[in-house]
Structure 1
């Protein structure tokens, strides 16, 4: 028989509350790995602000960044607050809980932050259903401060694990709690479906992966969202004359980004009308290099190395006084996914007065496509050559089409010393092209990639051999700089695509695979080709255990099991530790379960017609190393329901630790 822990696992899986449990981010918190109780963690109570007063103030703040949070002063240090627990391996865990009733999310900003090698931080809720982290010494900043990404809800538990062998103690002092009174996550999601219809503010928004954005793949990779001091803005990576990838960002003076700014990359939907948008590509920490109020310009340098799989592009710039004959902007309205605005007639010079800023020497744009909202501030303005000409200050608002004003880059240049960073070679040039780390030689890469065929030609919604590899055959792949699937760049490390030779490119697709299509786009500089891969329903019952043998299961994370069949079929998921068959005459004949003595029903699931699969997350915390689990599903057809059940393949997984 399964031991008591496996029995408890199955019982938990049957509960509706646990069926939706999901650990959002990687990182094994000590509370998960060692079973530390959350109920005993001391609470730091933060008095909620006057939300009504903040909202009223926001109505009259003018073109300042979209504020979502109130900054609340606190004084929390490891020497005086929280609780310390020694772990079984000799490490020590320091924990405290921040509670501020009514907050939509909680942000933690440390004015003292430094971790020794081996130190680890996680954030989680009381139930351990949501865990952020781990954060390590990799996150150390030159100024020894940090702002963590907002944590959903009115409370969060902070956990720092100090390694037993560390010679130096961490520097940790929490000085500010950001009380989210607007609902940051709701702001992010409310505009994700593109145009909202009508003619009011926000109704003209266009996702960057709509056809209007297709010519501007490089500019998409340059545009970022910023989060700083409880406010949201936009900005762009900008190149310098050394073409060395120095991590410089052009944004707006009025955005006021500080040293703890969090930058988000590639935050854009995979399709024109919606789809997935990655939220995990973030980098924290910046240095303010220069700013100029009258051009509403600010130049930042990102302190931490931008991971190569974020696929950054450093936009070129033009500091001449000539009017752009074409104008295009990318930005993050309401802090949400990236949008595009286009003025086919170019931009003209104006001087505009803004409350709280003064007179700004600006470019005037009258959009033919798209518009902007709060959070778009600082978004880059590109000209007909794809070069930066300024950042968004604001506009009068109102109905579509809208007018917006962008601080002029050449005014920023003429009145500050930004040439120190943007022209380190002292060339005195008035414009430069962008820099692509994946194509450092510049240009289109030489040859347009051409896709002639793919193998396999189609994929099913559930694949027991996931991740699925698709081989593209064609020509011109040697210079490929990036690959996108449904508009989302694939990771360079761990590698999700490879180029064995000029005529072959291999793409790795991670689950899930929703029925419909997946578009694979191969990019070489400014040139590209794409192919559509159909995703079909499984013709026979199929299951996929993610990280199944020969990979390993990690007990700190729940199992992910996908079940595929025809729409609305009913799948009964079984689990066992025995590969000896079981038969219930006339009902099913399974390949696992040792004659029914070692067979358990996890639950039954309906195959979703919209996705082609059903999915369940099953927690396995506490299972001993080496435990091998076998899964199989019996499926009842929704069209011609009859017994015995149609049985799926068997998937197995081994617990590593």
Structure 2
């Protein structure tokens, strides 16, 4: 979905969180301590970026796109720019031990800037900072840990039209840095201008989404505290512009925390190249309470870079030239495993073609903090979710019956930037991804309109072209389950606690201190067994049993505590044993 009103908060937000993300480590640029005494710093060369953009036309284009089809929210235009630390900028010695390189980039009138790198590599012990003219926003320090292998990279948005790159040379390595900028994202938008004029000194505001949006930590979100931890938004460079969409981390049957990201295919629609490797993903951008606040959340974290695994367009053509209609789903894999300290949740999913009578959508409307919208039966609407076929116009008509048509409870809605967000059923499982609905500039006025979500079951294995099926990634062990609970990597068991019933009379594991094998005895027929190590990794899975007893060989397993999950004919049972 797209909205012509620009997300004013995003520019300020993404330039204020760097100390809390993995791609940077915080700190203060050394030049800040010397700026009044070191003459050479103030004389840094300035690159004046040629800005040949018709902002009014860009806004008009956004409005036309909004009125003609569902599309991601465009936030910036790309301007080619060549900056190489080897051939440009000023080197300065601030002291015997501190040597810095600086380069100022100026793009007149920009509301914010995004840097894209052809190569980004920082040697051990070196640092890079990026900051705006009044030093109110600082990104960094970026270090060798930021992007250890080098290559393409991108930064978050930083507010303002003049920024400085400051590289601090290493004192422990003679290795040369590789910093090669290939273009700059020029953030535009009249709505942002109005916010700037409303304050002095100018300070971009948050809370850019429309007034009916409900924060995820309001009472509506009380039963969705796990699911919200898997919801993200991201910025992607596509076809000469930067756009944003929503998405969710998703679990797989290995339950191993593989960083899969589920979103919508139309978020990557472009007349040109889509750069998946420079996607910037934002986690935990939300207010801690129900009320909107005047300061930005400080717990947000980011990661950069994804690989495209599966793309299921609304309409497209296969590699063999065959026309296809799909359910508008995309599966990405982050290039970096998500650190445990990020405390994310990998949401579960349900492939069954069963309409849920209630649930929620968790999303980032207009790039704002995380919001929630509810659907449930209400007066005059017994079935809020029904099977539908999405007709978005020529070239944007989805597969027959491949969508959920959803009416919300009338209190809230989604809007531009919410595209790709997941809809959860009453069991807390993902059943679809947002394609769109009514096309308008005031989503709160039309919050009783129907919206459409590509069915997750269609994403999973419905397409005849297997390259357009997510099953091989999300069920890599061919478990065959029609639904999967979410996974919390910080849960030492890593198993589906909410559906487990424990009873020593119903399940007996012996010996509990095992050497070569473990015997499993249940009081009814066993259907499947899964075993997890103390880190929550699945180490054993088998189905097809037709008896109430079995034996598992553990002779080659590592020492430690293991959790065993047994599915019988009627319930799931769990127990533990130790491999000595």
Match of 2:356 among 310, 324, 340: 324
1:103-502 to 2 correspondences below 5 Å:
103-140=110-147, 144-182=151-189, 192=207, 202-229=210-237, 230-256=242-268, 258-275=276-293, 277-278=296-297, 280-293=300-313, 294-344=326-376, 345-355=383-393, 358-360=396-398, 361-368=402-409, 369-398=411-440, 399-414=446-461, 415=463, 416-439=468-491, 440-444=494-498
Please report the RMSD computed on the Cα atoms of aligned residues, expressed in angstroms.
2.8
Measure, in 1, the Cα distance between the counterparts of 2:45 and 2:218: 49
Q: Which residue of 2 aligns with 1:102?
A: 109
What secondary structure, in the 3-state scheme, does the structure 1 residue paired with 2:120 have? strand
What secondary structure, in the 3-state scheme, does the structure 2 residue paired with 1:300 have? strand
The Cα shift of 1:446 comes to 9.5
TM-score, length of structure 2 as denominator length:
0.67
Q: Is the 8 A contact 1:39 1:126 kept in 2?
A: no
Q: 1:377 to 1:430 in 2, by over 3 A?
A: same
Measure, in 1, the Cα distance between the counterparts of 2:469 and 2:306: 18
The Cα shift of 1:337 comes to 0.9
Unmatched 5+ stretches in structure 2: 1-15, 20-25, 197-202, 269-273, 314-325, 377-382, 441-445, 502-580
Measure, in 2, the Cα distance between the counterparts of 1:316 and 1:232: 24
Measure, in 2, the Cα distance between the counterparts of 1:391 and 1:141: 33
Q: 1:193 to 1:272 in 2, by over 3 A?
A: farther
Q: 1:245 to 1:272 in 2, by over 3 A?
A: same
Moved more, 29-38 or 384-393: 29-38
Q: 1:189 to 1:430 in 2, by over 3 A?
A: farther
The Cα shift of 1:142 comes to 5.7
Match of 2:64 among 60, 67, 89: 60
Unmatched 5+ stretches in structure 1: 1-21, 195-201, 448-657
What secondary structure, in the 3-state scheme, does the structure 1 residue paired with 2:214 have? coil
What secondary structure, in the 3-state scheme, does the structure 2 residue paired with 1:309 have? helix
The Cα shift of 1:100 comes to 0.7
Q: Is the 8 A contact 1:285 1:303 kept in 2?
A: yes
Measure, in 2, the Cα distance between the counterparts of 1:445 and 1:428: 18
Q: Which residue of 2 aligns with 1:531?
A: none
Q: Which residue of 2 aligns with 1:28?
A: 28
Measure, in 2, the Cα distance between the counterparts of 1:32 and 1:234: 36
Q: 1:277 to 1:385 in 2, by over 3 A?
A: farther
Measure, in 1, the Cα distance between the counterparts of 2:207 and 2:18: 20
TM-score, length of structure 1 as denominator length:
0.60
Q: Is the 8 A contact 1:326 1:346 kept in 2?
A: yes
Q: 1:122 to 1:356 in 2, by over 3 A?
A: farther
Q: Which string of whole-angstrom CA distances, capped at 9 and with x for unpartnered residues, describes residues 566-592 of structure 1?
A: xxxxxxxxxxxxxxxxxxxxxxxxxxx
The Cα shift of 1:212 comes to 1.2
Q: Which string of whole-angstrom CA distances, capped at 9 and with x for unpartnered residues, describes residues 43-97 of structure 1?
A: 1111222111111110111311111111111111112221222453455422211
The Cα shift of 1:363 comes to 1.2
Measure, in 2, the Cα distance between the counterparts of 1:271 and 1:372: 20
Measure, in 2, the Cα distance between the counterparts of 1:273 and 1:356: 42
Measure, in 1, the Cα distance between the counterparts of 2:181 and 2:154: 10
Q: Which string of whole-angstrom CA distances, capped at 9 and with x for unpartnered residues, describes residues 478-525 of structure 1?
A: xxxxxxxxxxxxxxxxxxxxxxxxxxxxxxxxxxxxxxxxxxxxxxxx
Q: Which residue of 2 aligns with 1:474?
A: none
Q: 1:441 to 1:365 in 2, by over 3 A?
A: same
What secondary structure, in the 3-state scheme, does the structure 2 residue paired with 1:240 have? coil
Measure, in 1, the Cα distance between the counterparts of 2:479 and 2:356: 23
